[in-house]
Structure 1
Amino acid sequence: MKFEDAVMVMSLRIEVFVADVEASGEFYRRVMAFDELSRQPADGPAQYLWMGRGSARIGIGAGDAAIDPATRHTPRGTEIVLEVDDLEAELARVQETGWPIAAGLQTQPWGLRDFRLHDPDGYYLRITSRRH
């Protein structure tokens, strides 16, 4: 395989480490409309959830004492950016859940529109229009 071919097959997923896996899973299901794709263990309280919506994937893991706090903490200066086709409809859907919006719908200097919210552990989510 050539280097150029290897670059073309790259994809991205994120993992967040949280205080309560089930509560975070509920947020991503109810507020962000993600589906639970799998869980570990398969029965009982989850230690890890694999969530998806469209091609977006988020892993949610238990952030406990076994995880090095120097490398596994709520990041500062990081945004989870989720692109949607219909930003107004997405905002209305999130508002219907009653979850607080951190920053309402606005057009950014770079030309895209977005709104922002925090998940239960403080991860910052920016919901934005797709580039056209």
Structure 2
Amino acid sequence: MDASLRVEIFVADLDETVRFYERLGFGTTGRSDGRPRYAAFRMGRARIGAAEAAAVDPVLRAVPTGVEIVIDVDDIREVRDRVVGAGLPLAEDLQDRPWGLRGFRLSDPDGYYLRFTSRH
């Protein structure tokens, strides 16, 4: 059986979120100005939906109390360089993990913690 996963996040400013995820390299695949305002993003098979909602203190979403959204990519160096080139601050630069993965981390404007990773 094949499966896929789409993560839905709740954001205070949808326009800011769209700009952020597009700078990460996601394409915006849909938008709705209904209630709530909504946008859908895709990078390869990774999909994220964002619904506009009341602001939440980003600290409440920080690891280890929140969720880490992990996105597997083929070329971690290319993605990292694009993210840094877009002027987005990293929470943690590229690191090799003892379990065979290399990755970096950053937070989105609402405090969702993102880890991009690939096998090294």
Q: TM-score, normalised by structure 1?
A: 0.78
Aligned equivalents of 2:101 and 2:114: distance in 1?
Answer: 15
What's the % identity of the aligned pairs? 47
SS of equivalent residue, structure 1 residue 88: helix
Give the Å deviation of 1:94.
0.6
Which of 5, 8, 20 is the equivalent residue of 1:27?
20
Higher RCO (CA < 8 A, seq sep 6+): 2
Q: Which residue of 1 aligns with 2:80?
A: 91
Give the Å deviation of 1:20.
0.4
Query: Alignment length, in residue pairs?
Result: 114
Give the Å deviation of 1:9.
3.8
Aligned equivalents of 1:115 and 1:63: distance in 2?
Answer: 28
After superposition, residues 69-80 of structure 1 pair within 5 angstroms as 74=61, 76-80=65-69
Q: Which residue of 2 aligns with 1:40?
A: 32
Q: Return 5+ residue gaps in structure 1 as ranges.
A: 1-7
Contact 1:17/1:74, CA 8 A, preserved across alignment = no
Whose strand proportion is higher, 1 or 2?
2
- Specify the code of the residue in structure 2 equivalent to 1:58: I
Q: Cα RMSD between the aligned structures?
A: 2.2
Q: Which stretches of structure 1, 4 residues or more, deviate above 4 A after TM superposition?
A: none
